[in-house]
Amino acid sequence: MGNSRIQLRDTLPDAIIKMSDGNPGALTVMAKIHNEGAAIDPDSCMGWFGVILSLDTECIYGPDIWMFYKDVCGEDLRTMLGLLRAVQLGFLPVELLRSAIQNYGKGIDIPDLMKKVEDRLPQFARAPEKKAESA
């Protein structure tokens, strides 16, 4: 692993530009993470920004972010965040994730990994419960 790209002094646009390497697909994914990440993973101590920091920690940048989202996760942000959590929780070695990104998801059992994440983090990807309307 290399050095992190994101620095404490970076603004949100700076961080997104550094992470996306100018790749339009990666920019799209960064926007989705910003808009939906905290709702998908409410246990993340830094909300959506924690997801971006995870990508940075694991040195997943630019086109690899897009391929991760599109080719590995079938354009499902919930799955992408779940696989990042699987790495954090020790269920998925980052080397295997990197290999899957380069090989269209081959080599990892996504349903099994998602189940492990959901078992460990019961709030992960759970829709908020609607309050019963009073009669």
pLDDT averaged over 10-residue windows placed end to end, the chain, 135 residues: 79 90 95 94 88 93 97 97 97 97 96 97 76 44
Residue 134: its pLDDT value, please? 44
Give me the residue label for tokens 């939906």.
Answer: 36
pTM of the model: 0.88
> Minimal CA–CA distance to 117: which of 83, 77, 93?
83
Residue 131: its pLDDT value, please? 43
> Minimal CA–CA distance to 78: which of 123, 16, 25, 46?
123
Which residue intervals of 22-131 are DSSP H helices?
A: 24-40, 47-57, 62-67, 77-88, 94-102, 110-120
Per-residue CA distances from 123 to 23, 31, 82, 117 (Å)? 32, 22, 12, 10
- Domain residue ranges of the chain, discontinuous segments joined by +: 12-120
